[in-house]
């Protein structure tokens, strides 16, 4: 399959602050129209790397191309083609959402209709409310509107759903998906791993200034050799003789479930179903098959002391 043209390309990019190497020889390619999630604990170098892509910092060495341009030049041509959703856009207390978005749009040569931007983020009904009356979640929606109203080819999303409740987060995900469907490239940084897993075509993990792994969630599972977990709850009367195990051992939990980790889940399931049928068992009680989540992969890479947030609403 032909590789898509690059929206962002980095080769050997390094950035130092005195004796500290914040970004250490990073090679990265993000294709046009791709949603790419960059993950890493605080201090890993992801913010510095993204700020170089945005043109706010310059690399000490290496090459960066964003939309075919050097972001360090800070040209109007470059600025007009990117959008940035920061964690905070500054004081908005004295202005209405409509005033802010309309003023922002005037700075771009081919902006989105401000009313369309407000509708996209769910602020149409609050367009004439002043910022001082906005909740935290509404402020983040406004940040989102300001980031997209310039009609960017490339959108940088920095923790875009911080402060959102569960419903608002899901709505914002639909905004990201709709922007991606229009062919826009999106670089997402987030501490919500379920967000990255739900939205990103590819995921990169940066640690101590180095990009240590990248790929789709399936690529990461395959590269790390992570196992799929098969679990079910047998009736106490079932004779388990001959239970297929693919060379691994079934573990029985305190609740009576049997669980096995395997790299051949399809083969194991076929054999397990055949085994149960031979014993007249039509249904394997409470059967589930679960691949490692991005959370588990991430913690394996960066350690259990990571500051990454995991939402309480995310359950197995």
Q: CA 41 to CA 60: how far, in whole Å? A: 23
Cβ contacts of 261 within 8 Å, gap of 6 or more:
227, 228, 229, 230, 248
Question: Would you tell me how many other CB atoms lie within 10 Å of the CB of residue 266?
Answer: 10
CB 302 within 8 A of CB 40: yes
The DSSP code for 125 is G
SS (H, E, C) 232-265: ECCCCCCCCCCCCCCCCCCEECCCCCEEEEECCH
CA 305 to chain centre: 20
Q: What residues of the chain score a pLDDT lower than 50?
A: 1, 308-316
CB 108 within 8 A of CB 150: yes
Q: What is the CA radius of gyration of the chain?
A: 24
At residue 168, the pLDDT reads 80
User: Nearest to residue 205, comparing CAs of 144, 296, 316?
Assistant: 296
Enclosing H/E stretch for 297: helix 294-302
Going from the C-alpha of 137 to that of each of 120, 162, 191, 295, the distances in angstroms are: 15, 8, 17, 25
At residue 88, the pLDDT reads 60
What is the domain partition of the chain in residue ranges? 6-222, 227-290
Instruction: Give me the helix-helix angle, 294-302 and 217-224, nearest 10°.
Output: 50
220 phi, psi to nearest 5 deg: -65, -45
- Beta strands, E only, the chain: 6-17, 20-31, 35-39, 61-66, 82-85, 154-158, 185-189, 202-207, 210-215, 228-232, 251-252, 258-262, 288-290
First to last CA, the chain: 35
Ramachandran sector of residue 235 (left: φ over 0; alpha: ψ -120 to 50; beta: rest): beta
CB 270 within 8 A of CB 303: no
At residue 312, the pLDDT reads 32
18 phi, psi to nearest 5 deg: 65, -125
At residue 59, the pLDDT reads 96
Token look-up 């309309």 returns 102
**What is the fold, at CATH topology level, of the domain defined by 6-222?**
Rossmann fold (3.40.50)
């Amino acid at each position: 399959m032909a590789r898509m043209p690059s929206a962002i390309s980095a080769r050997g990019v390094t950035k130092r602050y005195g004796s500290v190497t914040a970004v250490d020889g990073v090679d990265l390619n993000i294709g046009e129209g791709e949603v790419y999630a960059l993950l890493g604990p605080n201090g890993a170098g992801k913010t510095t790397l993204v700020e170089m892509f945005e043109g706010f910092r310059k690399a000490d060495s290496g090459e960066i191309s964003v939309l075919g341009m050097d972001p360090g030049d800070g040209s109007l041509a470059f600025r007009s083609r990117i959008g940035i959703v920061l964690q905070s856009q500054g004081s908005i207390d004295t202005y209405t959402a409509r005033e802010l978005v309309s003023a922002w749009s005037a700075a771009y040569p081919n902006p989105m209709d401000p009313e369309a931007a407000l509708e996209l983020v769910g602020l149409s009904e609050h367009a004439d409310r002043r910022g001082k009356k906005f909740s935290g979640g509404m402020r983040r929606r406004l940040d989102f509107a300001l980031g997209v109203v310039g009609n960017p080819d490339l959108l940088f999303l920095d923790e875009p759903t911080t402060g959102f409740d569960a419903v608002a987060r899901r709505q914002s995900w639909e905004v990201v998906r709709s922007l991606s469907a229009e062919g826009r490239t999106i670089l997402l940084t987030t501490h919500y791993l379920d967000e990255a897993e739900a939205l990103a075509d590819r995921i990169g993990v940066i640690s101590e200034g180095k990009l240590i792994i990248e790929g789709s969630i399936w690529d990461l599972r395959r590269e790390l050799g992570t196992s799929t977990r098969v679990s079910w709850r047998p009736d106490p009367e079932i004779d388990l003789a001959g239970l297929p195990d693919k060379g691994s051992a079934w573990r029985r939990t305190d609740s009576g479930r049997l669980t096995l980790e395997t790299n051949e889940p399809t083969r194991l399931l076929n054999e397990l179903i055949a085994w149960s049928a031979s014993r007249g068992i039509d249904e394997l009680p409470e059967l589930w098959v679960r691949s490692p989540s991005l959370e588990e992969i991430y913690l394996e890479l960066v350690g259990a002391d990571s500051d990454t947030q995991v939402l309480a609403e995310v359950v197995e």
